[in-house]
Structure 1
Amino acid sequence: MSEPIRRLPVGIQSFVEIRTKNYVYVDKTDIVWRMVNYGVKFNYLSRPRRFGKSLLVDTFNAYFDARRDLFEGLRLTEMEKDWIKYPVIRLDMSMAGATPKGITDYLDSAFGKYEQLYGIQPMPDVSFAVRFKDIIVAAYNATGQQVAILIDEYDSPLQHSWHTPEHEACTEMYRNVFAVLKNADQYEKFVFITGITKFTQVSLFSALNNLSNLSFLPEYATVCGITEDEIIENFTPEINVLAQRNNWSFDEAHQKLKEYYDGYHFCRRNMTDIYNPFSLVRALYDSYISNYWVSSGATSLLNKFVQNIEIRLEEFDNSYIDSDTLESSDVSSGVDELFLFQSGYLTIKKADEEGYYLGFPNEEVKRALSKIVIPTLTMKSQANVITAQSHSRS
């Protein structure tokens, strides 16, 4: 494996680790500060898998913990004057599995730690909703400060239970538990929820109908991922190494990275090009261009949400979708382009007054989809041949 000349945070989602162990960090902290201090209280952000959502959540966590030492030299220190420590309640729903029991076990463990922290003795058979509310109130009373609530990958159990008998029971748990966030408004400083896909009618969004979707706002278009300016500002030494090891010029190496990993757009009012951060950093670490995103499991849910993708693949490139569907609809509506956009296989190419033109963002995505399509087509062709042969014998 190629040795990088600096420490690159390959797969690291901890802001604390990146800052304390001297990894290269692309500074997004000015956006974090503005989101907390000039944004709304209840926030939701959708971005594809491996796009830095968990790192963003951890950055919020460090900010609310008033870890000024971690922000030295970053833009946020020029903006923050008070450094008030707020209590934080943090949930990572990717740890909850895809069944009601998985959700129950995870919430029981997570809530148990906060109950121990704040000296709460839950009554027998008390609901998770009551326990959640009691934790929020106890944190407020213990510190005198409103509570920051951070929920990462909220949709993971709902994605993985989709089209299974467990799905409705999972969504019912979400309705009951997360409705508390609205009812505990007076005790909350900031609520931030991330996910990939949006289940509007069946889960958190129906329970928390005052949730603001930041996913299409121009001021937050670049909060996850890496821009063209940021790659030059932060990774020029690694691009030089990539160029040298592959006998390319600097511009050729840069162009290769752009072709494979750039091309994402998340807002019609801010069409700044965004690189897939996971693949970009991994390519720079290895000094090698490859399809890193798909090898990380990015395509595992395609067949759950998109039917006959091997037949329809070409029609998705340069497809059209109206604004309400892309910005507001439920992924369970059956609109394949909506799932493909939210999960990173399609991106915004251009927009008009009524909607969006979507297409494949880059070469890595095209190749990832081809790897799915070709084996399926081959199996169908083989099945057709066998069927034809059996008919010819009869």
Structure 2
Amino acid sequence: MVETNNRRLPVGIQSFEKIRKEGYLYVDKTDIIWQLANTDKTYNYLSRPRRFGKSVLVDTLESYFLGKKELFEGLKIMEMEKEWVKRPVIRLDMSRAGAEPNTLRSYLNNIFREYEKEYSLVPNSTDSLADRFNAIIVGSYEQTGQQVAILIDEYDSPLQHSWKTPHHEGCTGIYREVFAILKANDKYEKFVFITGITKFTQISLFSVLNNLSNISFEPEYAAICGITKEEVLRDFKPEINKLAEYEGWTFDEAVAQLTAYYDGYHFSRRNMVDVFNPFSLINALADSDLKNYWASSGATSLLPKFVDDMEIKMKNFENCPIDSDTLETSDVTGGGAELFLYQSGYLTIKSYTEGIYMLGIP
């Protein structure tokens, strides 16, 4: 029998600290993460499908900016980072903010209250959310003497879920008010990182942060989320052997099956490295079984909002052309079904020729 009992796979775990302290397997992306954290660009946006490791990435960045050097021992970043400066970190998880203006305000109110307590800030009763956000950024900088890292995870969740409802305009109004502060406070900010699935260009962060750099298609970040074939073969040999033994396959046959089920995502035309869906791959190797983990983990309820005819068969989108401007810069509300299907992970880049992407099923 193949021995894998002493190896722990991080099924459903989004905490970098828990992964490292409790001995879960970690696919080392810290060289790419260091590169991102030390870019010349202050404001960065990354779009990836759901359950693709965005929250683990944000959590890893938080640990890095908090100077938790001990969590990174033995990882690639140790050869790159020499100073380990501890900075104030403001982190917002917008997937917890609901889909109505009152739940969005309530979430921001509660999270801002936590940071006000941390930095002994006392807001006036008349202060708006924007005033309080501003005071937290400035106050944390003044108290620590260090520029702030601001991490906003799943920024688009309230906008997605309120789209085509009476609550949408109220939510976007709050976004415009609160997040305009980011641009005004650039001298206090070391790094601003925003993740999401879909891109609402005119009605949220993208309208107030015109200097926001979209790194979603950049070649150096093509594999910052997800797991490459090289990483699969390097880090998961015992689990692949166990799957092969269960199914009566050779090692190479098991790799071929995993590849057929879960590989084939591409996120940059200039770096077409194959990326495995990490949620499905980790679950399959933990269970030693091939199933449709990603699709059955709560296929997005948003499909009907963006894809009019749910009877359309997915095969109709195989070899689907889309121009580069639409794919890379368009608002999801006006880009057509194929844009939403790409951003949400149902389609991926297959090829690129003279300004036209060809999309297809991963």
TM-score > 0.5 by shorter chain? yes
Q: How does 1:86-235 map to 2 (within 5 A)?
A: 86-235=87-236
Secondary structure of the equivalent of 2:333?
Answer: helix
Please state how far the C-alpha of 1:35 moved relative to its aligned partner: 1.0
Residue type matched to 2:68 in 1?
A: R
Please state how far the C-alpha of 1:277 moved relative to its aligned partner: 0.2
Q: How does 1:213-362 map to 2 (within 5 A)?
A: 213-311=214-312, 313-361=314-362
| C-alpha distance in 2 between matches for 1:357 and 1:4 | 43
Secondary structure of the equivalent of 2:190?
Answer: strand
* C-alpha contact (below 8 Å) 2:43/2:191 kept by paired residues: yes
* C-alpha contact (below 8 Å) 1:322/1:355 kept by paired residues: yes
Please state how far the C-alpha of 1:252 moved relative to its aligned partner: 1.1
Q: How does 1:42-57 map to 2 (within 5 A)?
A: 42-57=43-58
The 1:185/1:341 distance shift into structure 2, 3 A limit, reads same
| C-alpha distance in 1 between matches for 2:230 and 2:4 | 25
Q: CA-atom RMSD, angstroms?
A: 1.2
Residue type matched to 1:216 in 2?
A: F
Please state how far the C-alpha of 1:301 moved relative to its aligned partner: 1.6
Aligned to 1:387: none
The 1:3/1:163 distance shift into structure 2, 3 A limit, reads farther
Count the aligned residue pairs: 360
Please state how far the C-alpha of 1:39 moved relative to its aligned partner: 4.0
| C-alpha distance in 2 between matches for 1:39 and 1:228 | 30
| C-alpha distance in 1 between matches for 2:208 and 2:327 | 21
Residue type matched to 1:355 in 2?
A: I
Secondary structure of the equivalent of 1:179?
Answer: helix
* C-alpha contact (below 8 Å) 1:5/1:238 kept by paired residues: no
Using the size of structure 1 for normalisation, the TM-score is 0.90
Gaps spanning 5+ residues in structure 1: where?
362-394
Residue type matched to 1:287 in 2?
A: S
Please state how far the C-alpha of 1:312 moved relative to its aligned partner: 5.0
| C-alpha distance in 2 between matches for 1:4 and 1:100 | 47
Residue type matched to 2:191 in 1?
A: F
Residue type matched to 2:164 in 1?
A: H
* C-alpha contact (below 8 Å) 1:48/1:196 kept by paired residues: yes
CA deviation string 1:108-146 (max 9, x = no partner): 000000001111111113111110000000000110000
Please state how far the C-alpha of 1:38 moved relative to its aligned partner: 2.9
CA deviation string 1:251-296 (max 9, x = no partner): 1111111011000000000000000000000000000000100121
* C-alpha contact (below 8 Å) 2:326/2:335 kept by paired residues: no
Secondary structure of the equivalent of 1:145?
Answer: coil
Largest Rg, 1 or 2: 1
Secondary structure of the equivalent of 1:265?
Answer: coil
Gaps spanning 5+ residues in structure 2: where?
none
Please state how far the C-alpha of 1:353 moved relative to its aligned partner: 1.4
Please state how far the C-alpha of 1:334 moved relative to its aligned partner: 4.5
Runs of 4+ aligned residues of structure 1 deviating over 6 Å after TM superposition are none
* C-alpha contact (below 8 Å) 1:3/1:285 kept by paired residues: no
Please state how far the C-alpha of 1:304 moved relative to its aligned partner: 1.5
| C-alpha distance in 2 between matches for 1:280 and 1:309 | 27
The structure where helix makes up a greater share of residues is: 1
| C-alpha distance in 2 between matches for 1:347 and 1:311 | 18
| C-alpha distance in 2 between matches for 1:221 and 1:336 | 23
* C-alpha contact (below 8 Å) 1:197/1:342 kept by paired residues: yes
Residue type matched to 1:118 in 2?
A: Y
**Percentage of pairs with the same residue:** 63
* C-alpha contact (below 8 Å) 1:7/1:24 kept by paired residues: yes
The farther-off stretch of 36-45 and 55-64 is 36-45
1:31 aligns with 2:32: yes
Please state how far the C-alpha of 1:248 moved relative to its aligned partner: 1.2
| C-alpha distance in 2 between matches for 1:299 and 1:41 | 31
* C-alpha contact (below 8 Å) 1:30/1:76 kept by paired residues: yes
Residue type matched to 1:265 in 2?
A: H
| C-alpha distance in 1 between matches for 2:353 and 2:194 | 29
